Structure 1
Amino acid sequence: MAGGKLQDKLQDEDVRVGVDRFPERQPIGTAADDLLGRDYTDPPPAPLFDASELSSWSFYRAGIAEFVATFLFLYLTVLTVMGVSKSPSKCGTVGVQGVAWAFGGAIFALVYCTAGVSGGHINPAVTFGLLLARKLSLTRAAYYMVMQCLGAVCGAGVVKAFGAALYESAGGGANAVNPGYSKGDGLGAEVVGTFVLVYTVFSATDAKRSARDSHVPILAPLPIGFAVFLVHLATIPITGTGINPARSLGAAIIYDRPHGWHGHWIFWVGPFAGEALAAVYHQVVIRAIPFKASSDHY
């Protein structure tokens, strides 16, 4: 009985003091309280423009890391796609599941390697989502996106250099809406797929979650890579799975055929719309709880 009363008291306290324990930047709510007393205060939002970044080596080092990571991502994944396309029998290759694992596994490894340098975005949609959440400056976001796209072009270019004939006959790994699906279907798949990815990124890298739920150990690159794997399993039959404008652009530029550019806008509009929805959902809904009346606070 005493234990039950104590639990009820703690639950009531959770509601009353939660609003003060974890102050939020957004004015509409707060994150849930932590009963063990671990406080957390959000860092201030990143400025839209920070001139001091342009004179910092860490700024340029981060961009180089994004370039190399995206280069390796396209190299590993498009080369896997070429290997599947080359085989006369899909049973003799890793198949669609293997392609999905290649994308997810590459993201897991590369995010793990670059997270401490640049944050391990490797995707303009992820970068833009974090920009909307004020996690980085507009200057850094634009720089990252340019380096990601350049890295993707170079990665796809190296794959083509290994065998131009196979690369072109297999479609170059370029994204396109597959027969049997409309452009609306492809756009919807890209929106939802990117939502899953960026929502996972926000959840896995939320420092407040670590403060509140430290009993749940988490290695951020693992759920992010797994999300990429699952989205590829679901949407490879529809669009080949973009969810990364740099990946789609790099393959389209190197392939350079009408097939690679047909409906290319879908692989920009879809991911950016999906990440915007994920950013809003995470910041406004997931990290907030309703306020109690101010008279209940103490």
Structure 2
Amino acid sequence: MAKDEVMETGGGGDFAAKDYTDPPPAPLIDAAELASWSLYRAVIAEFIATLLFLYITVATVIGYKHQTDPAVNTAADAACGGVGVLGIAWAFGGMIFVLVYCTAGISGGHINPAVTFGLFLARKVSLVRALLYMVAQCLGAMCGVGLVKAFQSAYFVRYGGGANTLAAGYSKGTGLAAEIIGTFVLVYTVFSATDPKRSARDSHVPVLAPLPIGFAVFMVHLATIPITGTGINPARSLGAAVIYNKDKAWDDQRRSRPSTTSTSSGPAPSRPSAPSGATRNKLSSM
């Protein structure tokens, strides 16, 4: 294990050395971990946290679309109602802040398969823990969106189920690039906020870690909601797509441009009319 000394300047020009030891890399497969209750407790925490995250955020999105729907509300109410893009971004960022704070001591507060995968590549978590986390996160996301559909069944399908869509005017490559950059910002912030060397230097860093992570999610949503609706969380995108389904969440072009699809397919074929009485008599006599 590599050892690094952090030198600090004290009062009167004295130097005080504080030792810092890099944590050992997590084993790829740890058989003893499978027999530990702490692993399964952490998996349950990730499931519940992702469920709550998707429930609050998708419910916020559906509620906003309902409040600003001119077909339901008057033009004035639709223009002034709803939390807006700023409120939606804060719902995502605020929930991440709250849930990371609540689960950091249990599971590490990942709540995102992209974060879990990044920490696995950095050897911060084992392969077994990473796989269980990602399965729990995806299942939790589906259950969270399922609760929204159960509670807001009248509006869920009408307003797209909170599923990510590519906005008109953007190519798939642009949407992919926006998601890659947004996910990088989030994972980069997670690594910076949880750096053990910074924790050794400043004791307040671990306590404040959920704050920059939540703000990173908030800022990325402000930037990419107009492009893709902001995924940066595979569980969030998968959960909404699976529950919404109806052959829509899996095809961005069909969802974002339904008029183009209907126009290109041409008019629906007319239903053949039933034969007249004279025709029936003629056919029966043959």
Query: 1:90/1:219 Cα in 2 relative to 1: closer, same or farther (>3 Å)?
Result: farther
Measured after TM superposition, the shift of residue 64 of structure 1 is: 0.3
| % same residue | 71
Task: Please list the CA deviations of residues 72-111 of structure 1 after superposition, one character each: whole Å capped at 9, or x if unmatched.
Answer: 0000000000110001315211111000000000000000
TM-score calculated relative to the size of structure 2: 0.79
Match of 1:22 in 2: 4
Cα gap change, 1:185/1:216 in structure 2, threshold over 3 Å: closer, same or farther? same
1:219 to 196, 208, 215: 208
Q: Pick from 55, 58, 64: which aligns with 1:78?
A: 58
Q: Which amino acid aligns with 1:34?
A: M
Taking a change above 3 Å as real, the CA distance of residues 263 and 127 of structure 1, as seen in their structure-2 partners, is farther
Deviation >2 Å, runs of 4+ = 33-36, 212-218
Where does residue 68 of structure 1 map in the other structure? 48
1:209-242: per-residue Cα shift (whole Å, max 9, x none)? Answer: 1223458785100000000000000000000000
CA contact (8 A) 2:28 2:126 kept: yes
198 and 217 in structure 1: CA distance in 2 versus 1, 3 angstrom threshold: closer
Q: For the Cα contact (< 8 Å) 2:193–2:205, is it kept in 1?
A: no
Greater relative contact order structure (CA < 8 Å, 6+ sep): 1
Q: State the distance in 1 between where 2:175 and 2:127 align.
A: 29
Contact 2:194–2:209 (CA<8 Å) still a contact in 1? yes
Q: Is residue 232 of structure 2 the alignment partner of residue 259 of structure 1?
A: no
Is the Cα contact below 8 Å between 2:241 and 2:250 reproduced in 1?
Answer: yes
Matched, 1:245 2:234: yes
Is the radius of gyration larger for structure 1 or structure 2?
Answer: 2
Aligned residue runs from structure 1 range 274-289, under 5 A: none
**Can you list the C-alpha shifts for 1:111-138, whole angstroms capped at 9, x where unaligned?**
0000000000000000000000100100
Q: Say whether the 8 Å CA contact 1:84–1:90 is kept in structure 2.
A: no
User: 2:219 is matched with which residue: 207, 230, 240?
Assistant: 230
Listed as ranges, the matches of 1:161-180 within 5 Å are 161-180=150-169
Tell me the equivalent position of 2:119. 130
1:34 alignment counterpart:
7
Aligned residues: 236
Q: Could you say if the C-alpha distance between residues 40 and 77 of structure 1 is closer, same or farther in structure 2, counting changes exceeding 3 Å?
A: same
- Partner SS for 1:34: strand
Contact 2:193/2:206 (CA < 8 Å) preserved in 1?
no
Alignment of 1:93-242 (within 5 A): 93-214=82-203, 219-242=208-231
Deviations for 1:31-89, whole angstroms, at most 9, x for unmatched residues?
xx433422111011000000111111111000000000000000000000011000131
Measured after TM superposition, the shift of residue 176 of structure 1 is 1.8
- For structure 2, the 5+ residue unaligned runs are 9-15, 69-77, 254-286
Taking the aligned partners of 1:208 and 1:173, their CA distance within structure 2 comes to 39
Q: Tell me which moved more, 143-152 or 176-185.
A: 176-185
The answer as to whether partners of 2:167 and 2:228 remain within 8 angstroms in 1 is yes
1:21 deviates by 5.6
TM-score (norm 1): 0.76
Verify the 8 A CA contact 1:204 1:218 in the aligned structure 2.
Answer: no
1:163 to partner: Cα distance: 2.1
RMSD between aligned residues:
1.8
